[in-house]
Amino acid sequence: MYQYHTLNNGLKIVLSQNQSRVLYSGVYINVGSRDESEHDEGMAHFIEHCMFKGTTHRRAHHILDRIDGVGGELSAFTTKEETCLYATALVEHLERCIELFADILFCSTFPSAELEKEKDVVVEEINSYNDIPAERICDQFEELVFEGHPLAHNILGTKRHVRHFTSDRLSTFMRSHYTPSRMVLSVVGNVKIEQLVRLAERYFGGMEGGTPMEKRNVVPVFHPFERHINRHAHQTHIMLGCEAPSVYNPDKTAFALINNIIGGPAMNSWLNVAVREHYGFCYTIESQYEPYSDSGLFNIYAGVDHHAEDKALRLIRNELNRMADAKMSERQLQRACSQYSAQMAIAQADGGNEMQSIGKAYLGFDHVETIEEIHKELMSLTPEEIQRVAQRYFAADRMALLVYN
């Protein structure tokens, strides 16, 4: 289903060919906020903003017009471990997208005047997040559970660090991290692999490969804690979580299913039924599982009325204990696996989601699992395995709790 190729300089290519006229393309880069030094916190995210501000061939408005001017969309995002530059356009504009990716990634100039304006933009982005308790609690939770490790750093950085970034520092960081051997070109659309390889060779092939990123192996120490902070918010914001399997841990598939059962996007998730539907204690309650290369994080977020904090927490803990204390029946597990598999298949039907999914997977594993392979892996799980994984991670003394009152 997926087609692969690797250029001599290490750039990896993955293609999902279809018959759509719409093209989804992107470059996944193996660098994120955890790869910054303590003096560069927020730099990967700031570079993501400033890549669009000018190259040796184009000014900022020419970059923006290159894809948007033909009805497409150009954007980027940064995570703890990756950066992604991507575009949506009609399939006839494949070369336009790939050429622009190469220009932005290898020829950005970071004009000082543009940088100063963008610093104000990012500072306001930081202020915006700090003003929203439901957003801020997520960042502070990671800062506390991974204290002393780069994973604790906020992706946005701090206002102090952002204000001190210079063109030279951004260029130095980009030259050392944004190299073809750390990149995957991911494409979903009605194109042939031979055409894609030819264009990648034309625009990326002349760049030096650089040093491939080795798997990160400095395992962060998880710090369980309980902390209540008075934020004078209209709601009580609760975040309860624990360490979770890394992306390479054999328990990852079972834990991903557990997360989907407990607090996934479906209305029949255990937490939604127990806390929202039965008691009306909250509008938003959900769980999230983020597997990193050497660790992982699971958390449950809920925004509740101040008077419902203790009751909501008790119900949340009850659901975690329920997963650990009692084995699911074979029928329950089959239904949960089928539901999760279908959710992923539906999400993958969106070409943009698929482009990001296969790019991220190929970056980390040199292989992309098909939906059929994932379904088979899910259906091989047993009730005993699900219970074992839940018991391993949901022990009360391994939980961290942060509450904004």
Whole-number Å distance between alpha carbons of 188 and 25: 6
What pLDDT score was predicted for residue 397?
92
Sign, Cα dihedral of 62, 96, 111, 117:
positive
Q: Would you say the CATH fold of 226-404 matches that of 2-204?
A: yes
For a pLDDT cut of 90, what percent of the chain falls above it?
93
Across the range 140-146, mean pLDDT stands at 95
Q: Which CATH code of 3.30.830.10, 2.30.30.140, 3.30.565.10, 1.10.760.10 fits the domain covering 2-204?
A: 3.30.830.10
Four-residue CA torsion sign, 302, 137, 296, 393: negative
pTM score of the predicted model: 0.94
Instruction: Write the pLDDT tens digit of every residue in 7-59.
Output: 999 999 999 999 999 999 999 999 999 999 888 999 999 999 999 999 999 99
Domain boundaries, the chain: 2-204, 226-404
First to last CA, the chain: 50
Contact 23, 188 (CB under 8 A): yes
Average pLDDT of the chain to the nearest whole number: 95
Mean pLDDT of 109-113: 94
pLDDT of 217 > 70? The answer is no
- 70-86 tens-digit pLDDT: 999 999 999 999 999 99
How far apart CA 357 and CA 75 sit, in angstroms, is: 16
What would the pLDDT profile of 240-296 be if each residue is shown by its tens digit? 999 999 999 999 999 999 999 999 999 999 999 999 999 999 999 999 999 999 999
Pick the CATH number of 226-404 from 3.40.50.1000, 3.30.70.640, 3.30.830.10, 3.20.20.80: 3.30.830.10
